[in-house]
């Protein structure tokens, strides 16, 4: 298409959009694309290519509008692929919300129909985004509901059927063999000291019993982190004392700053026997290396327990100290990190040498 025709398409950038393009603001990606009339190429706002003159830029709502106007996608920032990734993430978020809201696990066919995909393509998309199948994710949701209900004092049968299990046998299997009495205690008779600090990842909370660190969380508001600790140990006495855990906080902050050095803390890990085996295996993964869920399962002599390994990683109460960020999907992709994939990526890059 001639340049004169291109200049008549799209809209000129307003001051806010131009500022986002000029500063390569990453938060603008996905909100619009820009077409450069001198090259007939469209880009994402944060494209690393040489910045064109403002007069030569036209704004489009999405890649479809840009291509309809005669522009072609940039090969450096790949705005069309990014849009597809964003769309896929939105589809999976909607499916996850549907699973969380359902009383019984939705079928693959029902979720695929809701998303407008074939079951085959929806399954691939869901696994790429979460590292789990929809069925495995739904089972994890049921197991969590069961554990929370028992910890709050519900009877085992009542909690099992409320969580969607058809039998007590299935409920006990999902709980990994935890006895109802142990789950119901929820930290009763224990005192947990909680301490806060500010980290490069945002607020940091460390919780410790007399035996060692039992909780480590970050990147959320302090109230949310403390609520997470209380949910995990609903019957424990929790006291806040930043000074009492100053050494632990300093060790965690040093690890975040230089994760290749490793993180050694006394730990009080409370979980099933299998979960503890998984967490121990994660601690043996050297900084700078990763393992897939299937590799961890094989190392434990349980190659059929990939789903159980993923569940143990998701329930890891002491992230960083037990480095679940070193576990990746079968395709090498980063999936399912409790504290956000950008932080998982930052940790892995720093451990691989990018933090030196």
Q: How far apart are CA 93 and CA 192, in angstroms?
A: 34
| Contact by Cβ (8 Å): 46, 28 | yes
Going 253 to 255 to 257 to 261, the CA torsion angle's sign is positive
Q: Which of 43, 47, 74, 77 is catalytic?
A: 43
Question: HEC string of 179-202?
Answer: CHHHHHHCCCCCEEEEEEEEECCE
Q: Catalytic annotation on 324?
A: yes
What DSSP character marks residue 54?
Answer: G
Residues sharing a CB contact under 8 Å with residue 111, sequence separation 6 or more, in sequence order: 95, 98, 99, 122, 126, 134
Using CA atoms, how far residue 249 sits from 127, 141, 217, 283, 286, in Å, is 35, 31, 11, 19, 22
Per-position DSSP letters for 105-122, written without gaps between them? PPPHHHHHHHHTS-HHHH
Could you give the count of Cα atoms lying within 13 Å of 232 in the half-sphere of its Cβ? 20
Compute the residue count for the chain: 356
List the catalytic residue out of 74, 214, 313, 324. 324
Of the candidates 262, 353, 281, the residue with the CA atom closest to the CA atom of residue 324: 281
Annotated active-site positions, please? 43, 324
């Amino acid at each position: 298409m001639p340049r004169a025709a291109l200049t008549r398409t799209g809209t000129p950038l307003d001051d806010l959009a131009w500022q986002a393009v000029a500063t390569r603001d990453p938060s603008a990606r996905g909100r619009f694309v820009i077409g450069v009339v001198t090259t007939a190429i469209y880009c994402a706002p944060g494209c690393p290519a040489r910045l064109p003159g403002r007069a030569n830029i036209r704004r489009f709502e999405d890649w479809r509008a840009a291509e309809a106007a005669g522009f072609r996608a940039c090969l450096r920032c790949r705005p069309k692929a990014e849009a597809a990734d964003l769309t896929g993430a939105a589809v999976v978020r909607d499916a996850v919300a549907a699973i969380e809201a359902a009383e019984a696990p939705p079928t693959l066919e029902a979720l695929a129909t809701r998303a407008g995909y074939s079951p085959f393509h929806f399954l691939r998309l869901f696994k790429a985004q979460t590292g789990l199948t929809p069925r495995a994710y739904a089972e994890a949701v049921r197991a969590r509901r069961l554990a929370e209900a028992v910890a709050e004092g519900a009877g085992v049968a009542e909690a099992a059927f409320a969580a969607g299990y058809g039998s007590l046998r299935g409920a006990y299997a999902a709980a990994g063999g935890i006895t109802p009495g142990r789950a119901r205690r929820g930290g009763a008779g224990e005192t947990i000291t909680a301490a806060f600090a500010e980290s490069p990842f945002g607020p940091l909370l460390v919780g410790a019993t007399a035996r060692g660190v039992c909780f480590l969380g970050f990147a959320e508001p302090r109230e949310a982190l403390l609520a997470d600790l209380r949910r995990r140990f609903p019957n424990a006495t929790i006291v806040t004392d930043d000074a009492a855990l100053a050494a632990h906080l300093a060790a965690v902050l040093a690890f975040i700053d230089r994760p290749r050095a490793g993180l050694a803390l006394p730990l009080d890990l409370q979980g099933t026997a299998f979960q503890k085996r998984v967490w121990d295996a994660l601690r043996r993964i050297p900084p700078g290396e990763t393992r897939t869920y299937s590799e961890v399962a094989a190392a434990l002599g349980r190659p059929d327990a990939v789903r159980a390994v993923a569940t143990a990683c998701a329930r890891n109460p002491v992230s960083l100290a037990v480095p679940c960020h070193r576990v990746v999907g079968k395709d090498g992709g980063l999936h399912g990190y409790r504290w956000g994939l950008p932080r998982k990526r930052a940790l892995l890059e720093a451990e691989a040498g990018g933090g030196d």
